[in-house]
Structure 1
Amino acid sequence: MKSWPWLRIGLLAGLLVAIGVAVTFRDRIDPVALEAWIAGFGITAPLVFVAVYALASVLFLPGMIMTLAGGALFGPVWGTLINLIGATLGATAAFLVARYLGADWVSRRLGGRLKELVNGVEAEGWRFVAFVRLVPLFPYNLLNYALGLTRIRLLAYALATFVFMAPGAFAYTYVGHAGRQAIAGGEAAIQTGLIALALLAAVAFLPRLVKRLRVPAEWLTVQELARELAGHSPPVVVDVRSVEEFTGELGHVDGALNLPLDQLANRLHELPKDRPLALVCHTDRRSRTAAKLLHAHGFRDIHIVRRGMTAWRAAERSRHDQD
């Protein structure tokens, strides 16, 4: 019998025990004592803090305590950077642990609607990571492990985590800094506290803003579009390029309806609302704009063809070369 499965089982068991112990005793964590302990390391305190933050992320300990402590210890600017490094390293570690221990097992057993959901997350890639970091739909610690079970690229995951957690990290780091200023007293404490409240208000409004900016459509690869067009209920392909592009070098998908983006609002009556729509353009920029317009007018089953006709023609050339 191979040793690898047993190694993974052993690592999983050890991880679950460590998480169980950490969660059991997390209510006993004293933020003041934690700050004093880390501050005692002197010049190496930032490195110790980053390591502790990363470990806390892996063990499902509350990141809020760490973020507030980072602000109190290192100030709003350096504290934000140090908090982001610790949170990103912890998120990446949990991501890699989940990928090593369970990604293969999960991919073999996924099916039905759940498989479609995971495929959609993977197609979105860093965009999905960016969205859930700005709009925390799931707990931070659980999300790190869940995304490790997908095929999202590691570099894209880590970069999106670092960049798109920054607004929230800065706000809560500043709250930690404001708490330290309040303890010290003085007029500066009042000003710092008001800034902290303003930042928290901005972060609370951010999810609503992001949801409004998010494209209300699903993504389709050109391979998926080809399969759906060959099926029993094919989508209506809506090409939103100009007439010249539609008949130009890249051509168009057979049977596509040409509704240029600048004419789309006046020609909505030509589109059925009871069939899925697949939007295509040169890449996918105009398709995203078209998707927002269609959604605002009551269309719901909308799909955007990723990389548009550029990818469609590239896939055709690839199939031709193989033949």
Structure 2
Amino acid sequence: MKTLFIRLFLVGLITIGIAIAVIYRDVLDMEALQHWIEQSGPLAPLLFMLIYILATIFFLPGSVLTLAGGALFGPVVGVFYNLTAATIGAILSFLAARYLASDWVEKKSAGRLKQLINGVENEGWRFVAFVRLVPIFPFNLLNYTLGLTKIKLLDYSLATYICMLPGAIAYTYLGYIGREAATGGESLIQKSLLGLALLAVAAFLPRFISQMRNNAKKNRIDIDVLKQAMDNGDDFLLLDVRTDEDYVGEQGHISTSVQIPVEQLEQRIAELKDRLAGDYEKRIVTICRTDRKSTKAAEILTNNGFNNVKVVKMGMTDWNKKGYPNVQSVN
């Protein structure tokens, strides 16, 4: 009963806060807010960060506050205050959603929604990094949405802080330039050009990351695709890159696979070339427990001239989950 009361109280508090923020968003006076913070003396940084954190939780526009942080604290310290406050707010939103609704969502989700959540969880920090660099969804809403998944808090926090850095630098510096322009600061032209350059980098980076991600997806295959290729008798080399212990351990291995640990792969490239008779175009499919080591192995193979390398998504974990045959395990 006590837990239910706490949850209802938090839901009500967040709902009321968001409603007030939405209703009064247009009357928010940033100049008055900046003046108030400036008059706070040594407490100004803490006051600003507290406001930024509450704004993140209650869906106020973070970009405006980021510009204000640059104007108030400069291009270096301002980045730290902006980024730290935004991340703390994102973490609190994430934890609130996890505490209030993640169990309920897990029980109720099915079908396409369940597949979507599983896909996000399998990507983990990589998904968080991608959406922070490529703002597909609104920042505030995304914080709550990710809290409904099983992504680890540490992964979420680090990916959020690191991958929001390019945008934070660009917008903080623009806020600083605005302050300089208003006060007649020196070298305004040079600072403005640098600000435009930073903004261009922040704008171009999402496209670059998106392109890299799309290229990576092209080189990844589902476990069902692997099974179908095996059933069809397709000609390819299945390379298991786990350690000797893992290869014969609890997860077992696929009987047709060749095992070379990723830690030894660079030193055993010649052995692999001999096995393939120098055919650099022959398809190689790498597999491990999930897809972490196999992705690294694919990079090593590509760098050594192999042109047709695929990575099995979620590897032996999904293979065993599907209950496919040809897996030899040590009991």
TM-score normalized with structure 2 length? 0.75
TM-superposed CA distance for 1:256, in Å, is: 3.8
Stretches of structure 1 lacking an aligned partner (at least 5 in a row)? 272-277, 312-318
Q: 1:87 to 1:55 in 2, by over 3 A?
A: same
Match for residue 315 of structure 1?
none
Match of 1:253 in 2: 254
Secondary structure in structure 2 of the residue aligned to 1:279: strand
1:76 aligns to what SS in structure 2?
A: coil
CA distance in 1, matches of 2:62, 2:112: 32
Contact 1:283–1:306, Cα closer than 8 Å, also in 2: no
1:28-62 deviations in whole A, cap 9, x for unaligned? 11221111111111111111111110000000000
The one-letter amino acid paired with 1:177 is Y
Measure the CA separation in 2 of the matches of 1:218 and 1:3: 50
The range that moved more, 8-17 or 250-259, is: 250-259
Question: What is the Cα deviation at residue 265 of structure 1?
Answer: 5.0
Give 1:306 deviation, angstroms.
5.3
CA contact under 8 A between 2:71 and 2:178: conserved in structure 1?
A: yes
> 1:1-323, aligned counterparts within 5 Å?
2-214=1-213, 215-216=216-217, 239-240=238-239, 250=247, 253-256=254-257, 265-268=280-283, 279-280=286-287, 283-284=293-294, 285-287=296-298, 303-305=312-314, 320=330, 323=331
Q: 1:61 to 1:79 in 2, by over 3 A?
A: same
Q: Distance in 2 between matches of 1:200 and 1:38?
A: 26
The alpha-carbon distance between structure 1 residues 178 and 234, as it changes in their structure 2 partners (threshold 3 A), is: farther
**3-state SS of 1:239 partner:** strand
Equivalent residue for 1:274?
none
Tell me the amino acid that sits aligned with residue 148 of structure 2.
Answer: L
Q: Distance in 1 between matches of 2:204 and 2:279?
A: 32
- Superposition deviation, residue 211 in structure 1: 1.6
Structure 2 distance, partners of 1:302, 1:189, is: 50
Secondary structure of the residue aligned to 2:171 is helix
Give, in whole Å, the separation in 1 of the partners of 2:173 and 2:6: 43
Report which stretch shifted further, 247-256 or 56-65. Answer: 247-256
Instruction: Name segments (4+ residues, structure 1) moved above 6 Å.
Output: 232-237, 245-249, 261-264, 289-292
Specify the code of the residue in structure 1 equivalent to 2:282: R
Percent of residue pairs identical: 42
Q: Which runs of 5+ in 2 are unaligned?
A: 260-268, 321-328
Q: More deviation in 247-256 or 131-140?
A: 247-256
Q: Aligned to 2:293, what secondary structure does the other structure show?
A: coil
> How far does residue 241 in structure 1 lie from its aligned partner after superposition?
6.5
Q: 1:174 to 1:116 in 2, by over 3 A?
A: same
Provide TM-score, normalisation by structure 1. 0.77
The C-alpha deviation readout for 1:264-294, integer Å capped at 9, x for no partner, is 75124xx9xxxxxx631692212367799xx
- Greater Cα offset, 258-267 or 202-211: 258-267
Aligned-pair RMSD on alpha carbons? Answer: 4.0
Q: CA deviation at 1:178?
A: 0.6
Using the alignment, how far apart are the partners of 1:14 and 1:138 within structure 2? 24
Alignment partner, residue 275 of structure 1: none
- What secondary structure is seen at the aligned counterpart in 1 of 2:76? helix
**Displacement after TM superposition at 1:305 (Å):** 3.9
Amino acid of the structure 1 residue aligned with 2:293:
T
Distance, in Å, in 2 between the alignment partners of 1:161 and 1:153 is 12
CA displacement at 1:219 relative to structure 2: 7.6
Q: Distance in 2 between matches of 1:124 and 1:235?
A: 30
Counterparts in 2 of 1:90 and 1:257: CA distance versus 1, 3 Å: same
